Structure 1
Amino acid sequence: MDASIPLDRQLCFALYGASMAMTRVYKPLLDRLGITYPQYLVLHALWEVDGRTIGAIAERLALESSTVTPLVKRLAAAGLVTRERAAQDERQVLVRLTDAGRAMRGDSHCLAQTVFARTGLDEGGIAALTAEVQALRRALAGDEKA
């Protein structure tokens, strides 16, 4: 493909626009919870498995540890997580949910419902689209599992 293709027919522009639209849907919902989307992702990773290290959270979210660390610090300042050095390796920082962080899981339940409703897709459509986007991400990242 070359640059002469109109923007509306370019995959990169479609993905960018979809990402921006998704952010606009999430923002007011997350503002009510007092967190940002990246902070929500960190919390979500901890709702899956509490007590992860910064490195494990970064790996789960496909981010650098240096990106996750300030997010965790802000979540700790908000009283949603705690941070502590791992006893077996003090270079690692364990992140655990507080009661408030666990409670936010229930408070954020409406996020998925709202986004689902806004897509206009049924469950099968959401699952198929998600699988395709994940496969694209893996392929672009050079992941062998693509």
Structure 2
Amino acid sequence: MARALDREYSAALMRASRGIKTASAEALRALGVHIGQNFLLDQLWQQDGLTTGELARRLEVEVPTITRMTQRMEAAGLVTRGRDETDKRVVRIELTPQGEALRDQVPAALDAVAARSLQGLSDEECRQLIGLLERVAGNLRA
């Protein structure tokens, strides 16, 4: 049977997670980006012209997920999808000028959400929280 503390922890973590996700979605929406698309943009900012397969591997999702995401992003003007010059079966994803222009704005918006979520905590408390969350993540990976 679960301890009361286990349930209290789970409930608090869920509230925090939901709050961060909601605030992040709102911040990204103001930039014309849907939650999750920021991860794909980040990969393209590091290396433009990746294939759908490469993006799927890097983001640890299935190719159809990348296909749907890039279709939406193309409709929004953030990326283009085109066939590879040497292998027409391969689709490459490239940033548009609009997608490239978000390179500084998306991280800044997410940093603002993080700062808001940590408001009132000292640097030491932030380090402690990060360390504890890393331990929780490690427990779940084990």
**Structure having the higher Rg:** 2
CA deviation after TM superposition for structure 1 residue 69, in Å: 0.7
CA distance in 2, matches of 1:131, 1:9: 15
| Equivalent position amino acid for 2:117 in 1 | T
* TM-score in terms of structure 1 length: 0.75
Picking from 79, 97, 100, the partner of 1:99 is: 97
CA distance in 2, matches of 1:102, 1:130: 32
CA distance in 2, matches of 1:132, 1:48: 29
CA deviation after TM superposition for structure 1 residue 48, in Å: 1.8
User: Are residues 18 and 90 of structure 1, via their aligned partners in 2, closer, same or farther at CA, if it must alter by over 3 Å?
Assistant: farther
CA deviation after TM superposition for structure 1 residue 110, in Å: 2.2
CA distance in 1, matches of 2:136, 2:109: 20
User: Are residues 52 and 16 of structure 1, via their aligned partners in 2, closer, same or farther at CA, if it must alter by over 3 Å?
Assistant: farther
CA deviation after TM superposition for structure 1 residue 27, in Å: 1.8
Give the length in aligned residue pairs: 135
Aligned residues: CA RMSD: 2.7
Which of structures 1 and 2 has the larger relative contact order (alpha carbons within 8 angstroms, sep 6+)?
Answer: 2
User: What residue number does 1:143 align with?
Assistant: none
| Equivalent position amino acid for 2:112 in 1 | T
CA deviation after TM superposition for structure 1 residue 32, in Å: 0.7
* TM-score in terms of structure 2 length: 0.77
The SS at the match of 1:96 is strand
In the alignment, structure 1 segments of 5+ residues that lack a partner are 141-146
User: Are residues 69 and 89 of structure 1, via their aligned partners in 2, closer, same or farther at CA, if it must alter by over 3 Å?
Assistant: same
Is 2:22 the counterpart of 1:24? yes
CA deviation after TM superposition for structure 1 residue 78, in Å: 1.2
Aligned-residue sequence identity (percent) comes to: 34
